[in-house]
Chain A
């Protein structure tokens, strides 16, 4: 078993408005996922909260700012803070995004798309390798949603993602909502995406809600998971079996009950998938 978090119940993104209620009520959640950078501080309340959650749940540390795909040198201070956090809390999962965020020292603090070229592939696969070496562990790398496609891309996104895992040895955090959002924005068949992914590399699945703005789907994490994404998630599990699954909700954060309701829907899909699996 490469990943020591349960396939169900599903996990939830851990956000400050729910801190107290989660600790007081200890709802069923397979794991809690934080954004690593929110705990880069030297001390104080964030780390005190994290200690409490770590004692109660399996944890997943999900980075949003390492910028694996940047040509700028890896930021040593950022990586060192991540390494310290991982050493101290020993989370079950550590993940980053297959994207870039800064150039020439200017950060966007957003998950920007790579051009899918051989040059970018070689660069980002080497960077994933360097990060895994520094952390002393395998990481999961997440496919991002995108609103812009580079005209000079030469490799389909799904092949690029699969090849990063093959070359670097990392696992994949398959964001099914991101596949759906990008498939609509760039007019591709999401089934082709799933075809390209080796199930053995997938260590976690993300689900979230999107919004539509000016003809583009935007990965806002501000809504319930859409029906189309639930269907694509069921299709994903039918291909690879249950995987640790997380509901992300980062803007217009709902009550904990609503968030957990989404997690229960994911559990139901996982249960149906297991029922369909041939007996071992």
Chain B
């Protein structure tokens, strides 16, 4: 290994270590922990509010050492924080916390995701009814789905800046749909049936396969109005016609 390579390996190892070091390197270590900690705080404001600054900062510090940054783009940092919190012994009593983190990461991804061209309703109208089963609806690139046994949507809403943090409901489960209209990210509750349908589409299911996943009775009740609503809100952005081959 070259001298430069060895120098850099040792320097980064020192930054991620807790061993005492000279003041200059300590300054870089503090900067790094602050930069990565601030990035986590910006992505997970509700988690931070729920646990308080001191608790959050300590959890962030431990997370940074457990999962180093892998990108020069700070927006890519922190995708594993929910899993980290799920295994974090000091957060065990807050059972819903990892799922709140999951919901916040979904919002973060949605905010930065690609846009979509408006749904082509005329093209869909031209599809023959006998081909409907083979339709493969394409979800908007900014759509994310989060399910939790806890009331995470209500907890998330109650901890937005203008709210006092008191949820009006504590019982789950919650099925969340995260979507983006223009530049704004929205979080809303979905029915279990709608959520299951969207999950099937996210896996690439055709309309026929997705309906089958719901069961016939649910499918008929849901598809009558639910599909139009999803297209209307932009959750479904387009479609492809699966070949019969």
Contacts and interface: CB of A to CB of B under 8 A. Distances in A.
A and B interact physically: yes
A214 B8 CA distance: 24
Contacts of B7: 115, 150, 152
Given A103-B12, A148-B25, A216-B27, A40 B4 contact: no
A112 B27 CA distance: 11
A185 to B, nearest CB: 8
Contact of B69 (A38, A108, A152): A108
A265 B147 CA distance: 54
Contacts of B186: none
A215 B36 CA distance: 24
Contacts, number: 134
A106 B70 contact: yes
A107 B70 contact: yes
Given A119-B3, A120-B4, A105 B70 contact: yes
B4 A117 contact: yes
B71 A107 contact: yes
B75 interface: yes
A109 B142 contact: no
B24 to A, nearest CB: 3
Interface string A115-152: 10101100100000000000000000000001111101
Contact of B72 (A37, A41, A48, A185): A37
A44 B113 CA distance: 6
A65 B32 contact: no
Contacts of A146: 24
B69 A107 contact: yes
Contact of B27 (A45, A64, A119, A147): A147
- Place the interface of chain B in its size category: 35 or more
B216 interface: no
Interface in A37-65: 37-38, 40-46, 48, 64-65
Given A41-B75, A112-B28, A214-B23, A106 B5 contact: no
A41 B68 contact: no
Interface in B169-202: 180, 182-184
Interface of A: 37-38, 40-46, 48, 64-67, 70-72, 75, 78, 81, 100-110, 112, 114-115, 117, 119-120, 123, 146-150, 152, 185, 213-216, 218
Among all A-B residue pairs, the 10 with the closest Cβ atoms: A65-B72, A148-B24, A41-B112, A45-B183, A42-B114, A103-B8, A107-B69, A43-B114, A43-B115, A71-B5
26 contacts: A37-B72, A37-B75, A43-B112, A43-B113, A44-B111, A44-B115, A45-B183, A71-B2, A71-B5, A75-B72, A101-B72, A103-B5, A103-B11, A108-B15, A109-B32, A110-B35, A119-B3, A147-B24, A147-B27, A148-B28, A152-B3, A152-B7, A214-B23, A214-B27, A215-B23, A216-B24
